[in-house]
Amino acid sequence: MKRDFLTLLDFSAEETEALLNRSAELKSGKDSSACPLIGKSIGLLFDKASTRTRISFQAGIYQLGAQAIYINANEIQLGRGETIEDTAKVLSRYLHAIVIRTFAHDIIERFAKNSAMSVINGLTDLHHPCQTLADLMTIKEKKGRLKGVRLAYIGDGNNVANSLIEASLMTGISLALACPEGYEPDRKIYEKARSGEADVKLMTSPEDAVKGADVLYTDVWVSMGQEETSDTKKKLFKDFQINRPLLSLAKPDAIVMHCLPAHRGEEITDDVIDSPQSVVFDQAENRLHTQKALLETLLK
């Protein structure tokens, strides 16, 4: 029976732990000569530009012995009016799985409902679960655990923030999110996590969020597709920057994370992202390892 990975909660806590352990094995070089997905074809259907998601998936698919087929949505019949449902049914006859990077989360849900192959969420406006798998792997690498780690997220309550909330529910991470009023994470996702007794708090003060934090995390203020809000958001978010004074309020051994690309001088300063406390490039590398483990889990 096919399985999809549209949100982090499509896997159980136990399955996620096993996936993270397998990611660490893959990173260490264990089974580096194995090609468990040889003969399989995996599509990459992208509506949005990408660096890390596209390249890490393409490289990982090749390393697992499969072939990646990049699909620009505007270059297939989907761009000329063919329905999402028909596209899903047709591509299911050719491919073993597909990674979709798009805008509205409803698009990927409709695709998965009509697909006979596994569908992986490479990013939607509501969720970014593949990024969060890499985030969890990075935190576990650097801190040795997940449960009880204090993570402060500063900035826009976007898809990354939503998936981090689900990660808190699943792993026991203590999460404080500091967002400007009106830019909080999705209310339903937040309330579901709270009802599940996740240690998640919403606030408007970055200083309060980072006090005693083990991890500081931020993302761009203006996501793809929201460029028309750029000037307004830059004014509203000017105090939601990870800089040296803010970092000094966290634990002395706190690490700094960013899902990239970074707009240096906006949500994060050069002296922080380039500091020894920054793990953003380890975090980016871990996209490769966690996605390989994810593909193995779904397709072996």
Strands (E), 145-269: 150-154, 174-178, 200-203, 215-218, 255-258
Q: Is 131 a catalytic residue?
A: yes
Of 128, 150, 258, 289, the active-site residue reads 128
Of 96, 105, 287, 289, the active-site residue reads 287
Q: How far apart are CA 278 and CA 43, in angstroms?
A: 33
Buried b / exposed e over 132-162, threshold 16 CB at 10 Å, is bbbbbbbbbbbbeebeebbbbbbbbbbbbbb
Of 58, 131, 283, 291, the active-site residue reads 131
Q: Is 54 a catalytic residue?
A: no
Of 127, 130, 179, 259, the active-site residue reads 259
Q: How long a stretch of residues is the chain?
A: 300
Q: How far apart are CA 176 and CA 190, in angstroms?
A: 12
The answer for residues whose C-beta is within 8 angstroms of residue 180's C-beta and 6 or more apart is 204, 236, 237, 240
Cα distances (Å, whole numbers) of residue 109 to 35, 112, 138: 30, 5, 28
Q: Is 287 a catalytic residue?
A: yes
Q: Is 47 a catalytic residue?
A: no
Q: How far apart are CA 13 and CA 3, in angstroms?
A: 16
Q: Is 263 a catalytic residue?
A: no
Of 22, 219, 283, 289, the active-site residue reads 219
Q: Which residues are 177's β-sheet partners?
A: 153, 202
Q: Is 101 a catalytic residue?
A: yes
Of 101, 127, 258, 289, the active-site residue reads 101
Q: Give catalytic residues, as residue numbers.
A: 101, 128, 131, 219, 259, 287
